[in-house]
Structure 1
Amino acid sequence: MPDSVTLSHVAREAGVSPSTVSRVINGTARVAPEKERAVYEAIRRLGYRPNLFAQGLARGKSMSVGVMTQDVASPYYSEVIKGIEQGLDGSPYYPIFASGHWRPDTEREAFKVLSGRKIDALIVMGGLLPDAELLEMAAHLPTVVIGRVVPGLERDCLYADQVQGAYEATRHLIELGHRRIAHIAGPLYQQDARERLEGYRRALTDANLNFDPRLVVEGDYHEPSGLMAVEALLSRGALFTAIFSSNDQMAYGARLALYRRGIQVPGEISLVGFDDVPISSYTTPPLTTVAQPTLEFGREAAKAILAKLEGRPYTLPLLANRLIIRESTALLRQGVR
């Protein structure tokens, strides 16, 4: 079994000394190319797994990358996490996760936990920590930020245009003939929720449609708040033929509320979400949504961190959201609502 294979086994297989194998694995000294190839071939054949902890001690590193997320149970964050794991796969580094739960005090505690593990680098996903504190972190650790732009750290931030994504979602509904479009906003203390509301408003303005604050209900990015938002709209007698939800999870709640009222989607109400989490293509009906490059966020952040740790240049790519049209939106039917 690979777990029982030792460095000495690799040395015998490669026809070199154990110290040569150690130098190749730890990169502590130059080794002749033919010997290096023989060691790597022996590692591959035997399935040898180096002791990363001991390897890290030899290098003065923990061989770990701290990841500050907000909610590991969130479908959005779980996809980004998957991308980080994929990006680190094959490297000697492993991720350590801690959740901030969208509270600055909890985020600080999460960072303390990660720092206590002597992490070698840091990936920050969203959050509410002040920019100055993130800049301070980045001054001491290789850092990449996902989902927000930190002034002074722009080259190390991965971000897709939330305003444009929301604009495209709302414009799609307008092009289908909808004029009374409700918006279930995310929690407006978060930057991305405010930007999606802004994109919604801009699309209305560009189509010469009035913004009606009575058609906007603030949720919290979880399914129950989407359900309650629709109940609030219907109970106040709001007239609308479409809903743009600031994320997919709230769109699921909205769909349930409409179903319970006997309101057909998309026959009577068209529905658009945001994020394109994996389940959205399997809802009834499949959800039209704005796809965020979640896996790419994670992969590119991991690649950038590895480049920083290895002293290599790396430029983060510009990533874009895109509208995915499925079966939850349709042309406005005359006489509906």
Structure 2
Amino acid sequence: MGKLTGKPTSFDIAQLAGVSQPTVSRALRGSSTVNLATRQRIEAIARQLNYTVDRSASNLRNGTTKTIALLLFRDPTPDETVVNPFFLGMLGAMMAACASHGYDLLVSFQQFSSDWHTDYEDSHRADGLILLGYGDYADYRARLEALVAQGTHFVRWGSVQPGQPGLTIGCDNIAGGAAAARHLLDRGRRRIAFLGSATDHYPEFHDRYRGYVAALGEHGLAADPKLQVETISTEEDATQATRELLHRRVPFDAIVAASDLIALAAMRVLAGAGINVPYDVAIVGFDDIPAASLANPPLTTIAQDSGLAGRRLVEMLLARIGDRPVESTVLPTQLVIRRSSGEGR
């Protein structure tokens, strides 16, 4: 191999390999249009020359950034470092999925109160957006409609609703809420409280509440409004909600919590009040975050597969970017039984 002066280029590799420069470019991108033997020869020459692909320039020529932006939303909280552990599980899966497709993942933490969409719409910093997080969706729909109108590629994690803008992946929240309540009912519990939002501002929690109400109805029971307390997935709010439930002095023997974070906060408040879980009050959470199995007692919960969800979000977005047909998807949930729900009385 002749000695080269200066930084090697794809044209140098093409000359040494006896192929055209476009063939070199395709080979170094791993394109299947270049046969394996030729691709391996080109890759070997590139290694010998210490040649690296200028991906920024390549992406610029192709009109892409090869970047996906993950916008992770949360409600305003006193501690801005707090992130729901369930979403961290999804993040790892999304990073791996992006890397396997040659994409970078740009992560941005947002609040629903911020004008989150403007920066990404105007700067074209990413080929598409993944929207992730629970929050108050009162003005969210209009923003999603704006993204659709502007041709922005995006997919969101959340409650799959008829006629909603864009693409959504979410778990079967209604079935999950029903499974949580049925599990408690099957163990003889009848005064079952619900901690979470029963309004459509939080569609995921609302659907879990609907499932809870449906399961009660299957047993000839009506939901008691005094046994439902509004809360979001923060320790502070869930702690206050549990204290409010106790303050009402309405008898209850079980709790369906709209998230594991809510359930864990409730368990701490009940323990502080001398109420034994599960003997006095049985509890079922939702999500199956790592802390659920480590709680005392370990938390029975409705599991969502965060790894599968993360991979599906990336795959769905890449399909949309590539103009391939794709539809919103509902993923199944699974009841994971641990000691917090006790045994039937």
TM-score band, normalised by the shorter chain?
Answer: 0.7 to 0.9
Unaligned runs of 5+ in 2: 1-6, 75-81
Residue 120 of structure 1 pairs with residue 127 of structure 2:
yes
Q: 2:116 aligns with which of 91, 110, 117?
A: 110
Q: TM-score, normalised by structure 1?
A: 0.83
Distance 1:47 1:297 in 2: 38
Q: CA deviation at 1:314?
A: 5.0
Correspondence 1:31-180 to 2 at 5 A = 31=34, 34-40=37-43, 50-71=53-74, 73-103=83-113, 106=114, 109-115=115-121, 116-125=123-132, 128=137, 129-139=139-149, 140-149=151-160, 151-152=162-163, 156-180=167-191
Q: CA deviation at 1:324?
A: 0.9
- Residues 117-266 of structure 1: matches in 2 within 5 Å? 117-125=124-132, 128=137, 129-139=139-149, 140-149=151-160, 151-152=162-163, 156-186=167-197, 188=199, 189-266=201-278
Matched residue type, 1:274: F
Q: Show the counterpart of 1:281.
A: 293
Q: Which residue pairs with 2:4 in the alignment?
A: none
Partner-residue secondary structure (3-state), 1:96: strand
Instruction: Note if contact 1:187-1:221 (Cα within 8 Å) is conserved in structure 2.
Output: no
Deviates more, 1:134-143 or 1:42-51: 42-51
- CA-based RMSD: 3.3
Q: How far has the Cα of 1:74 moved from its partner?
A: 1.4
Compare 149-158 and 77-86 and name the one that shifted more: 149-158
Conservation of the 8 A alpha-carbon contact between 1:121 and 1:143: yes
| Alpha-carbon shift at residue 49 of structure 1 (Å) | 5.9
Report deviation, 1:271. Answer: 0.8
Whether the aligned pair in 1 keeps the contact of 2:172 and 2:330 (CA below 8 Å) is no
**What CA distance in whole angstroms lies between the structure 2 residues aligned with 1:28 and 1:180?**
61
Unaligned runs of 5+ in 1: none
Of stretches 74-83 and 45-54 in structure 1, the one that deviates more from structure 2 is: 45-54
Q: Is the 8 A contact 2:169 2:328 kept in 1?
A: yes
Q: CA deviation at 1:79?
A: 2.0
Counting matched residue pairs gives 324
